[in-house]
């Protein structure tokens, strides 16, 4: 049987209008969809009726499917001759494990194609009115994971980010916000550095909390901010 193809498509930050035309066209003609938690269910309404769907994200209270199993599922579907879409939030390669999936496909000589997505690390702050750079204010931006296998980043790592000029953007950091802000202050960021947290960026439910490194944790607890959320630290957050 002829091998199928796997398309790794980035869905963008949530608003279905922010996927690419190419991504939408491929979704409208695919045979199988493998997807995680998506901010909008509208993507599913674009699929042809023949399309088989496989949800591999976290179920309430349970773990998501293991990466090895996801890789295997993609390989299997392609070997059956399907046009497969692997759809992920944002861009597949920004903390998205897209490259691990491509390595697994390469190993089995499965054809694959990439369709980039708009990553949340720039789009979510921008939609909240916070640019990641601004002339004479922020000359660089740094995208950092706020969650590692051990919890937050180590004190040493956070201190080195605290010493960075420019804007700091933390993804997956909400649970560790207290540690992150304390670590940055310890590393040299002034406690009154403007800091914002954006929940559900690009969706109708979007909420933005603005404060400083010192106040932001308590503000987000008080406002009961939930995931997904992005933390932005730096003058542009003001
Ligand atoms: N590949 C994705 C990021 C995956 S990591 C991308 O390029 O955007 C998941 C993290 O992204 C979340 O924990 C959160 O920090 C951030 N995120 C993604 N979508 C978001 C949204 N709509 N609003 C706020 N944060 C979002």
Q: To 5 degrees, how large is the angle CA 165–CA 169–CA 175?
A: 125
Percent of the chain scoring above 90 in pLDDT? 88
Q: Whose CA is nearest to atom 5 of ligand 1?
A: 95
Distance (angstroms) between ligand 1 centre and the Cα of 53 equals 22
How far is 238 from 195, CA to CA, in rounded Å? 7
pTM of the model: 0.95
Residues having CB within 6 Å of any atom of ligand 1 = 13-14, 39, 88-91, 94-96, 119-121, 124, 171-172, 198, 200-202, 227-230
pLDDT reported for residue 216: 98
Interacting residues of 52 by C-beta distance below 8 A, sequence separation 6+:
31, 32, 33, 77, 82
From 119, 228, 231, give the residue whose CB has the most ligand 1 atoms within 8 Å, as the site to mutate: 228
Distance (angstroms) between ligand 1 centre and the Cα of 58 equals 15
Distance (angstroms) between ligand 1 centre and the Cα of 121 equals 7
pLDDT reported for residue 217: 98
Percent of the chain scoring above 70 in pLDDT? 98
Question: Mean pLDDT per segment of 10 residues, for the chain of length 238 residues?
Answer: 93 97 98 92 95 86 82 97 97 94 96 98 97 95 92 90 95 96 96 98 97 98 97 96
Could you give the residue numbers annotated as active site?
Answer: 36, 58, 172
């Amino acid at each position: 049987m002829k091998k199928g193809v796997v398309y790794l498509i980035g869905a963008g930050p949530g608003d279905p209008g922010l996927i690419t035309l190419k991504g939408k066209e491929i979704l409208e003609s695919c045979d199988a969809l493998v997807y995680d938690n998506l901010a909008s269910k509208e993507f599913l309404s674009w699929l042809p009726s023949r399309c088989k769907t496989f949800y591999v994200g976290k179920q309430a209270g349970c773990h998501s499917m293991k990466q090895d199993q996801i890789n295997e599922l993609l390989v299997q579907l392609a070997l059956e001759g399907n046009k497969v879409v692997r759809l992920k939030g944002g861009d597949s390669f920004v903390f998205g494990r897209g490259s691990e999936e491509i390595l697994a496909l390469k190993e089995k000589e499965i054809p694959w194609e990439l369709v980039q997505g708009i990553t949340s690390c720039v789009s979510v702050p921008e939609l909240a009115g916070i640019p990641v750079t601004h002339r004479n204010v922020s000359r660089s931006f740094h995208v950092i994971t706020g969650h590692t296998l051990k919890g937050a980043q180590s004190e040493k790592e956070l201190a080195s980010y605290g010493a960075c000029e420019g804007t700091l953007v933390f993804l997956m950091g909400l649970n560790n916000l207290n540690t992150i802000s304390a670590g940055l202050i310890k590393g040299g960021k002034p406690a009154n550095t403007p800091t914002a947290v954006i929940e559900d960026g690009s969706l109708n439910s979007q909420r933005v909390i603005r404060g400083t490194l010192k106040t932001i944790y308590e503000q987000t607890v008080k406002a009961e901010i939930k995931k997904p959320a992005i933390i932005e630290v730096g003058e542009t957050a003001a």
